[in-house]
Amino acid sequence: MKIKQLSLIIILLLLLAACGGATTESASDGKITAVSTIGMVTDIVENIGGDHVNAIGLMGPGTDPHLYVASAGDVTKLSDADVIFYNGLFLESQMEEVLEQLSENKTVVPITKGLDTAQLLASPDYDDEFDPHVWFYVPFWQEAAIQVRDTLIEIDPDNQADYEANADAYLEELDALHAYVEEQTARVPDAQRVLVTAHDAFSYFGHFYGFDVLGLQGISTESEASTDDVQNLADFIVENQIPAIFIESSVPVRTIEAVQAAVQDQGFDVEIGGELFSDAMGDTGSSAGTYQGMVRHNVDTIVGALLGE
């Protein structure tokens, strides 16, 4: 009900903005204005757009994209954009309606649209939806980058050569990143390859890099973990003597602390192995403030804690 009302307000604001004929920044500096949702998408746009694109991200560090509702300011930015990029696969579930409206008269691209659905995992939360957390498998994010490259070339063909060169360099960096993840995760013995986190963001990471992943909440953070969920997870940790569990930047800490307390009640001690960046990157300028930095931080944190380093 509340969401419906908000959506209505947003649509009205959109219509107002459209009638107002707001001017885009691109008119003044000759750049394309690209607005994107999560930081990881904005990161791709910055890397491939380079000097030709003003990349504006809506969701900052610590923001939960599952719950994020576009503000009036966001709607203005979206309305003024030359192109909009978002993750898709129902990640930005509260923005679907706004994005759909906008797609009627501008280029709105879910960057996951080129992925081979046969390789995607099912969402445990929504029927007929895929797990949206595809950035945790680096080759998927390379596909996403290609989608951004091709879209920019389409709307700004004069700068095709630059977009191609930028994309080539970025894709090469992601090749190295993928190799790093494979190399580091290979150090963890099979029996220790269990990743316990607050919500099911790491299924692709687990599936492709060989970890069992247990999340306390479902794939979306919309559902609160129940006491039963906490107890079941605690029992599993004690039974399997799992040394470390992890908190996430975009999910309240108390969920995973409740698990730790339930484990301690059974006389076993589980470490909180550190903070993982699941659905949002770290602060701008920090080591996890880029997509690549975020992936490296997560891998280092997971591997380090599970190996007790």
Amino acid at 112: T
Question: Residue 132 CB, nearest distance to Zn ion (Å)?
Answer: 7
Question: 43 vs 279, which CB is nearer to Zn ion?
Answer: 279
3-state secondary structure 38-59: CHHHHHHHHHHHHHHEEEEECC
Burial bucket for residue 115 (CB in 10 Å: 0-12, 13-18, 19+): buried
Question: Residue 154 CB, nearest distance to Zn ion (Å)?
Answer: 30
Amino acid at 229: D
Q: Which of 145, 279, 295, 306 binds Zn ion (CB under 5 A)?
A: 279
Question: Residue 50 CB, nearest distance to Zn ion (Å)?
Answer: 29
Q: Which of 45, 177, 201, 233 binds Zn ion (CB under 5 A)?
A: 201
Question: 224 vs 239, which CB is nearer to Zn ion?
Answer: 224
- Kindly indicate which of the ranges 6-14, 187-195, 199-207, 209-217 contains the residues binding Zn ion, using the contact rule CB under 5 A: 199-207
Amino acid at 60: G
Cα–Cα distance for residue pair 288/286, rounded to 1 Å: 5
Q: How many residues bind Zn ion (CB under 5 A)?
A: 2
- Kindly indicate which of the ranges 7-15, 18-26, 105-113, 200-208 contains the residues binding Zn ion, using the contact rule CB under 5 A: 200-208
Question: Residue 202 CB, nearest distance to Zn ion (Å)?
Answer: 9
Question: Residue 278 CB, nearest distance to Zn ion (Å)?
Answer: 6
Report the half-sphere exposure of 250 (CA within 13 A, side-chain side). 27
Question: 151 vs 249, which CB is nearer to Zn ion?
Answer: 249
Cα–Cα distance for residue pair 48/145, rounded to 1 Å: 8
Question: 74 vs 279, which CB is nearer to Zn ion?
Answer: 279
- Residues, the chain: 309
- Kindly indicate which of the ranges 104-112, 203-211, 272-280, 292-300 contains the residues binding Zn ion, using the contact rule CB under 5 A: 272-280
- Kindly indicate which of the ranges 11-19, 79-87, 235-243, 273-281 contains the residues binding Zn ion, using the contact rule CB under 5 A: 273-281
φ, ψ dihedrals at 151, nearest 5°: -65, -45
Sign of the Cα pseudo-torsion (218, 294, 55, 156, in order): negative
Question: 187 vs 254, which CB is nearer to Zn ion?
Answer: 254
Question: 82 vs 92, which CB is nearer to Zn ion?
Answer: 92
29 with 124: CB under 8 angstroms? Answer: no
- Six-digit token pair at 25? 């920044």
Say whether 230 sits in a helix, a strand or coil.
Answer: helix
Question: 130 vs 170, which CB is nearer to Zn ion?
Answer: 130
Interface residues toward Zn ion, by CB under 5 A: 201, 279
